[in-house]
Chain A
Amino acid sequence: MSRGGSVSLRNIVKRHGSLTVLKGVDLDIRPGEFFALLGPSGSGKTTTLRILAGLESHDAGSVVLDGRDVTGSEPGERDVAMVFQSYALYPHMSVYENIAFPLRMVKTPNAEIDRAVRESASRVKIAHLLERRPGQLSGGQQQRCALARAIVRKPRLFLLDEPLSNLDAKLRLETRVELRKLQRALDVTAVYVTHDQEEAMTIADRLAVFMDGNIVQVGTPEEVFRRPVSIEVATFLGSPPMNLIPARLAGREAAIEGHRLQLESDYGAEREVLLGVQPSRIDIGAEGIPAQVDLVEHLGDSVIVDLALGATRVRAKLPERTRLAEGANVHLRFDASDVHLFDPQTRQRITA
């Protein structure tokens, strides 16, 4: 099977009346890549996907697929397939006809349609449901039917708009893995929109974080998670999100509530910063920054502890065996290598 297409978005601007939804989005997606567009609702990720598909117009910029500028061309001319959040199956057609539809529209011979439909259906394990109507399928089966309809014509680009959000939690985890395998097997470029950071982290080769109509960071899940570029990105990722603790930074030292913390590099002149640390990187011990336990939440495999550190609330994710009484006085510890520093004014990451 041929390798999927490449995607380039150049300075895409989209306005809805006086509201600017996309403020100049630049994006490069490599062939065969599983790429996630991640961001809170209203950040512009779905609009970007729809512009990519040709379902929505944009006010400036260009869309380039496989080196060809497709700005302004019809959705059908772009050789892209999409799985909608609502699946958008044709309710009056059988599963078979739903999957066959994209092929029928380009006058494929019947024998070939039949072969392709059966192959796609068995790939997503719905070969036994071909005679049913979409209304007679479960949510998971409908989702598979939508997938089969998208892969049947071997598009160069595969767009997925929150495809898992209508599935229950267990099915979502299973489908996530299968989707990933499917994309690998077909070797097709996939662009995946989600607001679920965990989903994006686990499924994507690379991702772009959208905030307020801009892409604020692009990278592998690990890069983005390890080095968030701003407070917004840092607090959007992780569950629970990163803690931000006011601190005074001077040289190689940060002071939190009077407690001194040695840092890995020299940051120069003294200033106020926000010190970020992931909940999972916090440890509780006999020494460190004094704090008080507010609340203990048991998650089964771990414990989330709410702590009061002066006026700041800090959450720590600890092993499930941790026994802490609410109201107890404890000490927090974390490695200097797990510390992120942000400027409270610009809200950007501070690098040494």
Chain B
Amino acid sequence: MRHTFARRFALAASAGMLLSVWGFPVLWALLTSFKTERDVLAYPPKVVFEPTLAAYRDVLFGASSIVPNLVSSIILSLGATFLTLLVAVPAGYALARLELPTKRASGFYVLATQMLPPVGLIIPYYLVLQKVGLLDTYVGLIVIYLTFSLPFAIWLLVSYFEDIPREMEEAALLDRAGRFRTLWYVILPQVRGGIAVTTVFIFLNAWNEFLFAVVLGGNRVRPVTVAMFNFISVEQTRWASLAAGAMIAMGPVMLLGLIAQKHIVKGLTVGAVKGGGRR
């Protein structure tokens, strides 16, 4: 009993510590977003203050409204997510089923793309996009996002497809479903969780992306991450507006996280424990 009590206490303490480390900046930003620019700079910091929506008004309807940038972010994220899934789902299925000698190598390739430091790719990407005239376009940026998200998504989905016993689709084939309906009615419903996880990962990556967007985007394509950066300038940093923008930008992320929470935890452990379905 003592042992379990000590364990639980230690767990609770470490969870509390982690939470405060992660939670404090969010809390600080949340409070800041309701302050006036004067209150933000007050010293000692004010915990009790008169809340105002001025900063929110500013970022939503002011001269430097981030609404167009939110739209930009949504187009980029949805575009990248949709195209990734469109290719990754069939590709993951194929890779899981085909006995390819290059299967192991492709796994390494995927990891390699995730290991490359993105900074090293910026200049080549810039030059390529410039040559083909896709700088500061949605297509250009989405294609760049795909180079990272596609291998990752395929790699993630393969493990889900592999968990489905082959006999399941053989049964469907004998039940006269044919290849396509077997995939649609029998296989895909069983990898729903995996598709959900992949969607969340790809969407969040695209939503949070900053480095490529700031270099390869421009006046036409400027996602909210880049727009918020503009609140910080040499003369003045508008902390309250920055915080309000951050709160708004966090919205979709937190919403998605809450919706997909269950799937994400499963998704992260899917590679760790393989079910008995494999032969």
Contact = CB atoms under 8 A, between A and B. Distances in A.
B261 interface: no
A53 B172 CA distance: 12
B167 A86 contact: yes
Given A91-B190, A92-B189, A92-B190, A81 B167 contact: no
Interface stretch (A100-108, A243-251, A264-272): A100-108
A88 B171 contact: yes
Residue of A80, A81, A88, A102 contacting most chain B CB atoms (<10 Å): A88
B176 A106 contact: yes
Interface string A86-119: 1010111000000001100110000000000000
A207 B40 CA distance: 87
A55 B189 contact: no
Contacts of B171: 82, 84, 88, 90, 149
Nearest to B190: A92
B51 interface: no
Interface in B154-198: 165, 167-168, 170-178, 181, 185-186, 189-190
A314 B92 CA distance: 57
Residue of A76, A84, A85, A102 contacting most chain B CB atoms (<10 Å):
A76
Contact of B168 (A75, A82, A90, A106): A90
Contacts of B173: 55, 74-76
Interface string A50-79: 000111000000000000000000111100
B177 to A, nearest CB: 5
B174 A53 contact: yes
Contacts, number: 57
What secondary structure prevails in chain B residues at the interface with A? helix
A242 to B, nearest CB: 34
18 contacts: A54-B174, A55-B170, A74-B173, A74-B178, A75-B173, A76-B178, A82-B170, A84-B167, A88-B170, A88-B171, A90-B168, A90-B172, A90-B186, A91-B190, A101-B175, A105-B175, A105-B177, A149-B171
Interface of B: 165, 167-168, 170-178, 181, 185-186, 189-190
Given A84-B167, A101-B172, 17 more contacts: A53-B170, A55-B173, A74-B178, A75-B170, A81-B174, A82-B170, A84-B170, A84-B171, A86-B165, A88-B168, A90-B168, A90-B172, A102-B175, A105-B175, A105-B176, A105-B177, A105-B181
A81 B173 CA distance: 10
A54 B174 CA distance: 9
The bracket for how many chain A residues form the interface is 20 to 34
A76 B189 contact: no
A101 B186 CA distance: 10
A139 B96 CA distance: 28
A101 B176 CA distance: 9
Contacts of B177: 76, 101, 105
**8 closest A-B pairs (Cβ-Cβ)?**
A76-B176, A88-B171, A102-B175, A88-B167, A75-B173, A92-B189, A105-B176, A84-B167
A106 B189 CA distance: 20
A259 B237 CA distance: 111
A101 B173 CA distance: 11
A94 B191 CA distance: 17
Contact of A149 (B168, B175, B186, B190): B175
Contact of B175 (A76, A77, A85, A91): A76
Contacts of A92: 189-190
